[in-house]
């Protein structure tokens, strides 16, 4: 081996920079190694193009008329597509060489060859060259036609000026290179080695001898390597191989590298573009898997795979093939990577149910880990939901974004609300888009907070967020680092191998209990109020459709449960729960599509409700009229507006006199309101209220204030609409803090540091400005009887105004605030506050299938970092014996600081959607003072009632004459949340019931059903039978045992219907 002379000098910096210049793509490319990466080149034979606003299928696109085009041409605008036909002829002289098509253009390209997509091309994703042949053979055809489909958007959309700015609709795109070239694979290998050596020299630092060994090896390689003389390369290569072949010790940390490509299902681009992003990214991955049998790729989100299956069946088949080989690894188990905070418990179950069933059907097995690298916090119920879906492992990294506190673990047990545990891992490199550099490999070990306890870490590499995925260079780097002294060992691995290695050390791991709260992006609980409202409303609609359809199944032999339709609608809802959609952090185009999805669920859902109602009415004697349905599992006494002919409404009181009547229905002669019979009924209409429930007359005092009183609570509003008093009548207890007013609207300046739609910062609290109303604006609305109300107008600012009706119904334990806002602001945040006459160091917030406490003070950094938090339908602040609950029908942001309960109403960020939240909004919140604990006082059913109004459905046929109830539960702690048909159902007559313990207690209860049940057996969330077998069923009653916040599912096999 020819050796270079011994180096004359020992200067660290000049040596290092010398090597850097030798591989630089910027400097000295006329004589350095990088400049030799490509050899001879020639232009493509012919280039033509066709521009379209549509996203056309390939077969359709290539039929279009293509115009001559050339390098340097511009095309666009944003969101359009330019198809290029590329005719090429490889020069005969290149036989024996590796030949590439070099393509550089703006936008995201996809190469089609022989009618199939073969590779993505994006400058941003470092994919600018398509390998035409590894080695051109004598006999190989040298003429070829390819198509390149270029989407007029970048990997990260088309923001005007900055990434998250609203898209620029008029962007121009350009082709800057389209040529054939000879690729020098040996130069590429040397470049990879030299870059890794430079990385080690820099990353290990001047205290480390291995760093010097790396530097001098690289320097020596430069000495022996003449870029103009390829015959010198093997000597340099041998020096590198010797270095990288020096093994580390037995104690080396092991890095499990997995290819990954985070594709946001919609974000800075519309859903339809994501379909193409998946194709571009994954065909590239298929190529990598073909060339590198050890390369693995972890791929999440069933929805994206389903899109590829329907739009690119050939690609889907290849993915299935590589899944069989263990290289393509479906992960995550969910339909999309959903937001971890806002979806309801049931919706989260459905993410897994739809996802796992898809993975099983298409890839032969379910996922064993939950994969949610990028979402804005993680509900404390997730561990239980994972365990119930066959999942024991969890991977994310987003908590590394915490602004205030650094999370103390990377590998740990995460214990949920009910005590369920999963093994959690955060890739310690704090990224899901690594490049395979030495710096990242070193960071993975250095930052790992559990090193010493466990010797394994995950490393996810590949361009992400907007797709793109791994490159061959990344794979080459990681392969080179498989076992080199001075660095951790790097394995191309899989989640399964990672987690089984971590499990081997699990005795050493710490446990984190409760939610994983992200100390950032707290604005996403509020941004885009219409999407939030659509989410809550559609969760309710699907709940009601499933319940009614199940009851119809139980009562009618002819009824066909609308399983396929419900699957479609659920999938739309789940799609919108993606972590940049329901959160409101998407562009306007996406928000519009999301609103269409909700509209679809509303209209088709209401049709399904009517169909179920019709089936429930069929065959029963009785007058035609209204079917009143209570879809909640407890009795209700409520005032309901009933439709009258001609479009008018009248108020009716719907009491439920019986004990056992729940989840039931009742007919109501139309348009009359009948007196309530004493028979057990969930819902019977009544015209007159019992005397003790009667609303007292409204009194307008001389000072312009209004008092509403229903005998349970007494509400006093001052002349501007503020709440000056809220009294529990029986005890005389006042709920509003002394000297303060409730229903106080407040406006904050809301200017974050960068992530506009996402972040509300702590300092916004310092800009609080109460919105002061005008005296004399308060007026009496409804005069009393069954309902009393008052209303007022409030000018929020010169541009925004609000009107509110404050409503108190007879028999109702809470006062409702129906609110309409016309909102035209920039970077303002509207909240409403209720200072309570309650003192407690913690407040309670509803979450999925339960609730949790958060502090009301800012003692520690962990406390004050939660200055803005999320909740579902209610927040409660209680001291011993008394409390105040704040309920809502479509809000998610809240906070309780000191004694002030605050509900977040509207924001006005401008990026990435400049129009977000501008315009009209309608929402309702409610206030419920109570004695005792919120559990005993019935705050939970009250919040359900606010969110699940009684249904008054037109009964097309004879409605049942008597009221009828399907289910009841003996304990108020247990909520029957869901009734649906089982996914696989014998003769369609198996139902699934989901119940949960809502009080945080151990409890035994009886579930009673009036449906003809033949067999009952527990099951998991994926509806797989408990091997312990059927439960004893006596007199249609089942005994169930719950621990705090436990969620249980049950299969009920109904008897065949009588003929």
**Among residues 264 and 750, whose Cβ is nearest to Zn ion?**
264
**Among residues 253 and 521, whose Cβ is nearest to Zn ion?**
521
899 SS3 class: coil
What residues form DSSP beta bridges with 964?
665
What single DSSP character describes residue 344? -
**Among residues 211 and 265, whose Cβ is nearest to Zn ion?**
265
**Among residues 264 and 1023, whose Cβ is nearest to Zn ion?**
264
Q: Tokens representing 1029?
A: 């077998």
**Among residues 586 and 684, whose Cβ is nearest to Zn ion?**
586
**In terms of Cα–Cα distance, which of 1021, 1011, 1027 is closest to 849?**
1021
Measure the CA–CA gap between 899 and 883, rounded to whole angstroms.
11
Element (H, E) at 610: helix 588-617
List interacting residues with Zn ion (CB under 5 A).
264, 374
**In terms of Cα–Cα distance, which of 579, 533, 507 is closest to 338?**
579
Element (H, E) at 88: strand 81-89
**Among residues 264 and 346, whose Cβ is nearest to Zn ion?**
264
Q: Tokens representing 900?
A: 């002030």
Residues 968/662, Cβ–Cβ less than 8 Å: yes
Q: Which backbone phi and psi does 355 adopt, to 5 degrees?
A: -70, -55
Mind giving me the DSSP string for 961-1023?
SS-EE-EEES-TTEEEEEEEE-SS-GGG-EEEEEEEE-SSS-EEEEEEE-S-EEEEEEE-TT-
Element (H, E) at 444: helix 438-446
Q: How far is the CB of 267 from Zn ion (least distance, A)?
A: 7
Does 374 participate in catalysis according to the annotation?
yes
Q: Scanning the structure block, which residue is given the tokens 């091997």?
A: 1027
192 SS3 class: helix
Residue 384, classified by CB atoms within 10 Å of its CB into exposed (0-12), middle (13-18) or buried (19+), is buried
What single DSSP character describes residue 524? G
**Among residues 374 and 762, whose Cβ is nearest to Zn ion?**
374
Q: How far is the CB of 759 from Zn ion (least distance, A)?
A: 16
Residues 979/547, Cβ–Cβ less than 8 Å: yes
Q: How far is the CB of 466 from Zn ion (least distance, A)?
A: 9
Largest Cα–Cα separation, the chain: 108
364 SS3 class: coil
**Among residues 374 and 485, whose Cβ is nearest to Zn ion?**
374
**Among residues 226 and 374, whose Cβ is nearest to Zn ion?**
374
Q: How far is the CB of 391 from Zn ion (least distance, A)?
A: 20
305 SS3 class: helix
Residue nearest to Zn ion (CB): 374
Measure the CA–CA gap between 750 and 821, rounded to whole angstroms.
18
Cis preceding-peptide flag for 191 (omega within 30 of 0): no
Residues 122/471, Cβ–Cβ less than 8 Å: no
The residue annotated as part of the active site, out of 374, 430, 749, 1026, is 374
Q: How far is the CB of 244 from Zn ion (least distance, A)?
A: 35
Q: How far is the CB of 256 from Zn ion (least distance, A)?
A: 22
**Among residues 374 and 624, whose Cβ is nearest to Zn ion?**
374
Q: Tokens representing 5?
A: 């002379």
Q: How many other C-beta atoms can be found within 10 angstroms of the C-beta atom of residue 1059?
A: 4
890 SS3 class: coil
Measure the CA–CA gap between 968 and 947, rounded to whole angstroms.
20
Q: How many other C-beta atoms can be found within 10 angstroms of the C-beta atom of residue 630?
A: 28
Q: How many other C-beta atoms can be found within 10 angstroms of the C-beta atom of residue 964?
A: 21
Residues 492/396, Cβ–Cβ less than 8 Å: no
Residues that are catalytic: 374
């Amino acid at each position: 081996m020819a050796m270079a002379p011994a180096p004359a000098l020992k200067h660290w910096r000049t040596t290092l920079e010398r090597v850097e210049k030798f591989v630089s793509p910027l400097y000295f490319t006329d004589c350095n190694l990088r400049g030799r990466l490509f050899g001879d080149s020639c232009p493509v034979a012919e280039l033509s193009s066709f521009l379209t606003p549509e996203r056309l299928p390939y077969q359709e696109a290539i039929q279009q008329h293509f115009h001559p085009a050339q390098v340097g041409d511009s095309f666009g605008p944003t969101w359009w597509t330019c198809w290029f036909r590329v005719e090429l002829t490889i020069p005969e002289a290149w036989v024996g060489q590796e030949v590439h098509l070099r393509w550089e253009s703006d936008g995201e390209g996809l190469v089609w060859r022989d009618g199939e997509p073969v590779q993505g091309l994006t400058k941003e994703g470092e994919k600018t060259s398509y390998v035409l042949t590894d080695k051109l053979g004598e006999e190989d055809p040298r003429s070829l036609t390819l198509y390149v489909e270029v989407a007029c958007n970048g990997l990260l959309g088309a923001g005007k000026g900055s990434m998250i700015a609203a898209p620029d609709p008029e962007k121009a795109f350009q082709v800057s290179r389209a040529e054939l070239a000879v690729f020098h694979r040996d130069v590429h290998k040397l470049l990879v080695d030299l870059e890794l050596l430079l990385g080690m020299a820099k990353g290990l630092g001047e205290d480390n001898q291995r760093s010097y060994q790396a530097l001098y090896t690289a320097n020596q390689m430069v000495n022996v390597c003449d870029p103009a003389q390829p015959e010198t390369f093997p000597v340099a290569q041998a020096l590198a191989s010797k270095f990288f072949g020096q093994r580390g010790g037995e104690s080396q940390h092991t890095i499990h590298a997995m290819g990954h490509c985070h594709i946001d299902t919609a974000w800075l681009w519309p859903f339809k573009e994501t379909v193409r992003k998946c194709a571009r990214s994954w065909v590239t991955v298929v190529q990598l898997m073909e060339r590198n049998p050890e390369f693995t790729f972890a791929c999440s989100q069933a929805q994206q795979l389903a899109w590829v299956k329907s739009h690119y069946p050939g690609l889907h088949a290849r993915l299935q093939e590589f899944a069989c080989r263990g290289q393509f690894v479906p992960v995550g188990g969910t339909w999309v990577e959903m937001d971890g905070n806002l979806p309801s418990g049931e919706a989260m179950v459905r993410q897994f149910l739809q996802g796992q069933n898809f993975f099983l059907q298409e890839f032969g097995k379910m996922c064993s880990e939950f994969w949610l690298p990028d979402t804005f916090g993680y509900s404390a119920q997730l561990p239980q939901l994972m365990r119930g879906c066959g999942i024991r492992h969890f991977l994310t990294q987003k908590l590394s974004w915490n602004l205030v506190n650094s999370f103390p673990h990377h590998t740990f047990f995460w214990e949920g609300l009910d005590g369920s545990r999963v093994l959690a891992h955060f890739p310690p490199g704090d990224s899901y888009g690594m490049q395979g550099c030495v710096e990242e490999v070193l960071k993975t070990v250095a930052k790992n907070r559990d090193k010493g306890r466990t010797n394994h870490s995950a490393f996810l590499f590949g361009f992400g967020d907007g797709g793109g995925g791994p490159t061959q260079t990344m794979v080459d780097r990681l392969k080179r680092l498989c076992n080199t002294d001075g660095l951790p060992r790097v394995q191309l691995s899989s989640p399964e191998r990672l987690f089984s290695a971590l499990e081997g050390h699990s005795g050493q791991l710490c446990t984190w209990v409760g939610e994983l709260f992200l100390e950032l992006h707290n604005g996403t609980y509020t941004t885009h109020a219409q999407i939030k409202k659509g989410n809550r409303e559609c969760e309710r609609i699907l709940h009601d459709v499933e319940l009614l359809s199940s009851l119809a199944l139980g009562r009618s032999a002819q009824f066909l449960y609308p399983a396929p339709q419900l699957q479609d609608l659920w999938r739309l809802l789940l799609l919108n729960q993606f972590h940049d959609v329901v959160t409101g952090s998407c562009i306007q185009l996406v928000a519009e599509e999301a609103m269409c999805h909700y509209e679809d669920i509303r209209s088709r859902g209401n049709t399904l409700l009517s169909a179920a109602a019709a089936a429930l009415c069929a065959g029963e004697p009785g007058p035609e009229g209204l079917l009143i349905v209570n879809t909640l599992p407890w009795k209700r006494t409520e005032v309901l507006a009933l439709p009258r002919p001609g479009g008018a409404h009248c108020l009716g009181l719907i009491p439920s006199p019986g004990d056992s009547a729940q989840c039931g229905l009742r007919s109501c002669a139309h348009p009359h309101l009948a007196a309530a019979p004493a028979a057990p009924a969930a819902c019977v209409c009544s015209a007159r209220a019992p005397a003790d429930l009667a609303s007292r007359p409204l009194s307008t005092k001389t000072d312009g204030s209004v008092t509403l009183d229903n005998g349970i609570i007494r509400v006093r509003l001052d002349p501007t609409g503020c709440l000056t008093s809220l009294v529990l009548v029986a005890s005389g207890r006042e709920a509003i803090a002394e000297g303060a007013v409730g229903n106080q609207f407040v406006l904050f300046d809301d200017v974050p540091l960068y992530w506009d739609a996402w972040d509300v910062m702590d300092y916004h609290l310092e800009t609080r400005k109460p919105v002061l109303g005008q005296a004399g604006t308060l007026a009496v609305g409804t005069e009393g009887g069954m309902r009393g109300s008052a209303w007022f107008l409030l000018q929020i600012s010169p541009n925004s105004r609000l009107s509110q009706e404050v409503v108190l119904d007879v028999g109702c334990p809470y006062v409702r605030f129906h609110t309409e806002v016309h909102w035209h602001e920039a970077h303002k945040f509207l909240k409403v506050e209720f200072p309570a006459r309650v003192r407690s160091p913690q407040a309670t917030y509803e979450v999925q299938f339960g609730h949790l406490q958060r502090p009301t003070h800012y003692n520690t950094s962990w406390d004050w970092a939660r200055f803005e938090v999320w909740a579902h339908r209610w927040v409660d602040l209680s001291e011993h014996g008394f409390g105040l609950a704040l309920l809502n029908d479509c809000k998610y942001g809240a906070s309780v600081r000191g004694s002030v309960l605050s509900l977040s109403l509207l924001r006005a960020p401008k990026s990435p959607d400049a129009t977000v939240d501008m315009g009209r909004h309608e929402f309702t919140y409610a206030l419920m003072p109570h004695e005792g604990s919120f559990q005993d006082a019935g705050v939970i059913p009250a919040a359900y009632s606010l969110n699940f109004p009684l249904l008054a459905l037109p009964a097309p046929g004879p409605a049942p004459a008597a009221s009828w109830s399907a289910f009841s539960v003996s304990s108020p702690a247990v909520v029957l949340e869901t009734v649906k048909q089982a996914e696989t159902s014998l003769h369609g007559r198996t139902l699934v019931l989901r119940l949960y313990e809502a009080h945080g207690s151990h409890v035994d209860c009886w579930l009673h059903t009036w449906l003809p049940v033949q067999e009952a057996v527990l099951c998991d969330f994926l509806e797989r039978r408990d091997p312990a077998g059927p439960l004893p069923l006596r007199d249609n009653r089942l005994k169930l045992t719950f621990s705090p916040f436990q969620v249980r599912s049950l299969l009920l096999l109904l008897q065949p219907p009588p003929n």
